[in-house]
Amino acid sequence: MADRIYQLIIVGGGPGGLTAGLYAARASLDVLLVDKAAVGGQVLLTDWIENYPGFPQGVSGFALADKMSAQANRFDLPQILGQVASMNLYGEVKSVLMADGKTLKARAVIIATGARPNKLNVPGEEEFAGKGVSYCATCDGPFYRNMRVAVVGGGDTAVQEAVYLTKFAKKVTIIHRRDELRATPIIQETAFRHKRVDFICDAEVIGIDGQKEVGGLRLRYQDGQEESRPFQGVFILIGVTPNNETLTGTQLEMRDGFVVTNCMMQSNIPGVMAIGDIRADSIRQVISAAGDGAVAEKAAEMYLEHLHNNTQAVTQHRKCTCR
């Protein structure tokens, strides 16, 4: 129905959105999950996951997303595929405007649109994604035990993750295009003191080489000189971009493009929650996104109950004054 008002709309079908949808469907809420493509989010592109509880031997990203989706479908979670164009989130009834011109309405909204890692966009990057090219040291570090790996980037995250990788890798080389790192001094000092961390500055990666997996990087220095260096893996840690294009004009409180929430995943707009990678302070892990989804759904239930109680109170008051 064109004028239907759902209790809850979830925008985004990654692990967080699917978990929120599972909880909502199981709680018999009138819920709808909206995703622009096949549900699963970026986890579908993850080759292997070793740190998700319940899978002692690990699980492929596709298989994990498939199991999450199947569990949500067991409780008949309604889902539609479509591109969201924009949202109007103020007021008791929120609107989700679709690219095809349709408008979906709900009393509460959970935003689970995620974020995407910034890429170098060089030859070999796409070809070797999941085969030596990674964007998450916490996710993939254990796969590189006793190997030589490179970390591309010079900010806090890149340098911290480089030090973290020394738990597994034989040698970690930080490659930065400038002559000085951008990381805070105390983080830099930790890396400088570490025996298994070295540095290549004033250089940019212009290509990733290999056969079936990454075998090395092609570098270009500021003086124009080029060379190839052998590496068995490369972690590209040059930041992430929030998928917030549909949130323009919503008056959500943002920090660096990510939605600011409290511990219950609630934003500054009543009835609007944000979860997973789109949320400020997210650690960007599958398990944390799923946890966010559970918390946000409970926050949505409390908000809807509050609305219901207020409506009943107003109705009762009107009946009394009319008598």
Measure the CA angle with vertex 160, ends 155 and 161; round to 5°: 100
One of 47, 66, 136, 209 is an active-site residue; which one? 136
Is 10 in a helix, a strand, or coil?
strand
Largest Cα–Cα separation, the chain: 89
Is 262 in a helix, a strand, or coil?
coil
Q: Report the alpha-carbon distance of residue 32 to residue 81 in Å, rounded.
A: 11
One of 35, 139, 277, 292 is an active-site residue; which one? 139
Q: Tokens at residue 205, please?
A: 């990666």
Q: Which residues contact 143 (CB under 8 A, 6 or more apart)?
A: 48, 168, 233
| Residue 322 annotated to the active site | no
Q: Which residues contact 78 (CB under 8 A, 6 or more apart)?
A: 25, 31, 32, 33
One of 35, 140, 277, 292 is an active-site residue; which one? 140
- CA atoms 159, 163, 168, 174: torsion sign: positive
| Residue 139 annotated to the active site | yes
| Residue 201 annotated to the active site | no
Question: Annotated active-site positions, please?
Answer: 136, 139-140
